[in-house]
């Protein structure tokens, strides 16, 4: 699936005790508290385009290792004329950059939409301190700051701010936050949602359409 779902902060611990466990920020499905970032592409309803999904096995160069000096490029060939690349970089301040590329080796143009999401399973314990927001958070253009508590999102199920061309969104704790910062041309559609069946909180965005002509490569 190419998810970013296993992050431990080696220099930070759960308590002031130097022997206490290190902070686990992201953890995969099947772990006690799944929490992860996912990226991908979607197409128009009814379009017959085989896109990467959560079950996709991406290929990486032998010996590839993600460091601030060495990005990693994951590749998936859908066998139908489209080759997808996901270039993952990280800087010294823990900022990941994920660039998605589509190479069209077929004979027909395709149109895709990039998306990103942060998913958290279960309601985490919160401090409950009135000046501290813990939950879903975002900044959306001229509308500014949006803060959504876990229980409010459980009630409403979904909150969709207006589409904007600048901003960010994510999930924040007392000490740590995970945020998505969409880039690229055009507006993106932000959204906060809660799925009762899986007890999942989600902050996500859907980007503007990217058209890839035959023989061309486009970044999404």
| pLDDT tens digits, one per residue of 5-46 | 999 999 999 999 999 999 999 999 989 889 999 999 999 998
Which pTM does this prediction carry?
A: 0.93
Average pLDDT, rounded, for the chain: 95
3-state secondary structure of 45: coil
182 pLDDT above the threshold of 90? yes
Residue 220 has pLDDT above 90, yes or no: no
| Spatial CA neighbour of 96 closest among 77, 122, 114, 116 | 116
The C-alpha angle 142, 145, 148, rounded to 5 degrees, equals 135
Tokens at 139, concatenated: 């900044």
Give the SS3 label for residue 141.
helix
- Condensed to tens digits (0 to 9), the pLDDT of residues 141-181 reads 999 999 999 999 999 999 999 999 999 999 999 999 999 99
Q: 194-217, pLDDT tens digit by residue?
A: 999 999 999 999 999 999 999 999
CA dist 85 and 120 (Å) reads 26
pLDDT of res. 86: 97
How many C-beta neighbours within 10 Å does residue 100 have?
Answer: 24
H helices present in the chain, as ranges: 150-156
pLDDT category at 58 given cuts 50, 70, 90 is very high
Residue 156, phi then psi, degrees to nearest 5: -85, -30
Please compute the mean of the pLDDT values over residues 102-119 and round it to a whole number: 96
- Is the Cβ–Cβ distance between 154 and 165 less than 8 Å? no
What local confidence, expressed as pLDDT, does residue 36 receive? 97
| pLDDT level of residue 94 (50, 70, 90 thresholds) | confident
Percent of the chain with pLDDT strictly greater than 70: 100
pLDDT, greater one: 147 or 131: 147
Mean pLDDT confidence for 136-143: 96
For residues 125-138, give the mean pLDDT. Answer: 90
| Nearest one of 62, 54, 68 to 1, comparing CA atoms | 54
């Amino acid at each position: 699936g190419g998810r970013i779902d296993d992050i431990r902060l080696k220099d930070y611990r759960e308590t002031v005790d130097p022997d206490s466990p290190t902070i686990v920020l992201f953890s995969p499905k099947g772990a006690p508290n799944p929490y992860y970032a996912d990226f991908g592409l979607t197409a128009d309803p009814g379009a017959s385009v085989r896109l990467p999904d959560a079950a996709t096995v991406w290929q990486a160069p032998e010996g590839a290792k993600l460091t601030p000096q060495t990005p990693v490029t994951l590749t998936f060939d859908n066998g139908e004329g489209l080759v997808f690349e996901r270039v993952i970089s990280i800087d010294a301040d823990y900022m990941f950059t994920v660039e998605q590329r589509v190479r069209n080796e077929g004979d027909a143009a395709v149109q895709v939409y990039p998306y990103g999401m942060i998913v958290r399973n279960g309601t985490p314990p919160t401090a409950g301190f009135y000046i501290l927001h813990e939950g879903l958070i975002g900044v959306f253009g001229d509308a500014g700051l949006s803060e959504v508590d876990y229980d409010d999102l459980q009630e409403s199920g979904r909150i969709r701010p207006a589409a904007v061309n600048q901003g960010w969104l994510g999930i924040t704790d007392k000490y740590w936050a995970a945020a998505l910062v969409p880039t690229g041309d055009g507006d993106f559609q932000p959204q906060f949602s809660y799925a009762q069946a899986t007890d999942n909180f989600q902050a996500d965005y859907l980007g503007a359409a990217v058209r890839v002509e035959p023989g061309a490569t486009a970044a999404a």
